[in-house]
Amino acid sequence: MPNYKTELSYLISELEVGQTTRTVKCPFCFKQNGDFAVTRVENGLLYKCFRVACDSRGFIPSNLGEWNNHIGVPHVSRVVQRTEEYPFESHIIKLNNEHINFLKNKFGLTDEELFLNKIKWCEQTERIIYPILSENGNTKGYVCRYYKELSDKKYDGVKSRTYWINRSENYYNVSFPYRREYNVDNIFILVEDIVSSIRVARYEQSIALLSNSIPTNAMKFLIGKDVVIVLDNDATAHALKIKNRYSLFFKSCRVIAIDKDPKNMSDDELIEKIITPSK
């Protein structure tokens, strides 16, 4: 039997605290498709396979002590239960006034939008936590964003990190901003990041792709729908490629070229440059 502890423990020295890799093959189901995550925490490594058929998870201490394995077993160690879903879940707290005022001033977000979209703060990593929400408002993961104005920590070169915590094999791998309901017959405006999706959602249904591409799983949701692609101002050419590749699957598909990210637009600019042309 392979020594899985040795197989993964080298990552203790390669990853920084809070950093996650998905390039490793799962040592339990032997799949290497990005669904096996290993995260460096202060006292070792957390690992989890997000394939429902596998669902292996556990903790490897940095002193290479005993494993705390969980392979379809209800009971796991206290350490894994406390931290397995996100490296510093116990450190995720409410936004304070400084954080709230920063997000209001920088992106024009309202108190209600911050609350309904469950935006919080990680006191360990000193990053804003943007939950990745399903259309029903369930948290599927987190995007952890560094802002120099809010952090005293030295910038590590990575502005955003994404962690999936509750994702099934069939999940769309996108984020839905809070809305009371989604109407599948209405337009869906696709943007790149969560903040932009929240701003656009004031006027029309929107989805954050969490990248500049449409995840394969998301096509199961978007097929047959009216879609408007609005990516960041440096990705318009890529948006056109997406349209050419997938347009046959949509009821309709348009690309709107913008000169500013939606999250950085005023409400008047959003209406003029995105909402009105989408109708």
Q: Which two tokens stand for residue 226?
A: 């009216």
154-181: average pLDDT: 86
89-111: average pLDDT: 93
Question: Which of these ranges, 81-95, 133-147, 225-239, 245-259, has the smallest mean pLDDT?
Answer: 81-95
159-165: average pLDDT: 86
CA pair distance 231, 190, nearest whole angstrom: 7
Amino acid at the residue 227: V
| Contact in structure between 250 and 225 (CB atoms under 8 Å) | yes
CA–CA distances in Å: residue 247 to residues 210, 219, 220, 254: 20, 11, 14, 9
Confidence band for 95, pLDDT divided at 50, 70 and 90:
very high
Task: Read off the pLDDT of residues 187-199 as tens digits, 9 standing for 90 and up.
Answer: 999 999 999 999 9
pLDDT surpassing 80 at residue 206: yes
- Calculate what percentage of the chain has a pLDDT beyond 90: 38
Q: Which two tokens stand for residue 239?
A: 């948006």
pLDDT surpassing 80 at residue 256: yes
Kindly report the number of other CB atoms within 10 A of residue 39's CB atom: 24
Confidence band for 215, pLDDT divided at 50, 70 and 90:
confident
Q: What is the pLDDT of residue 204?
A: 95
Q: What is the pLDDT of residue 233?
A: 66
Task: Read off the pLDDT of residues 110-146 as tens digits, 9 standing for 90 and up.
Answer: 999 999 999 999 988 899 999 999 999 988 889 999 9
CA pair distance 109, 243, nearest whole angstrom: 30
Sign for the pseudo-dihedral over CA of 12, 13, 19, 25: negative
Q: What is the pLDDT of residue 88?
A: 64
Each residue of 100-119: b (16+ CB within 10 Å) or e?
bebbeeebbbeeebbebbeb
Helix, strand, coil percentages, rounded to 5, for the chain: 30, 25, 50
Residue 269 backbone dihedrals phi, psi, to 5 degrees: -65, -40
CA pair distance 65, 2, nearest whole angstrom: 17
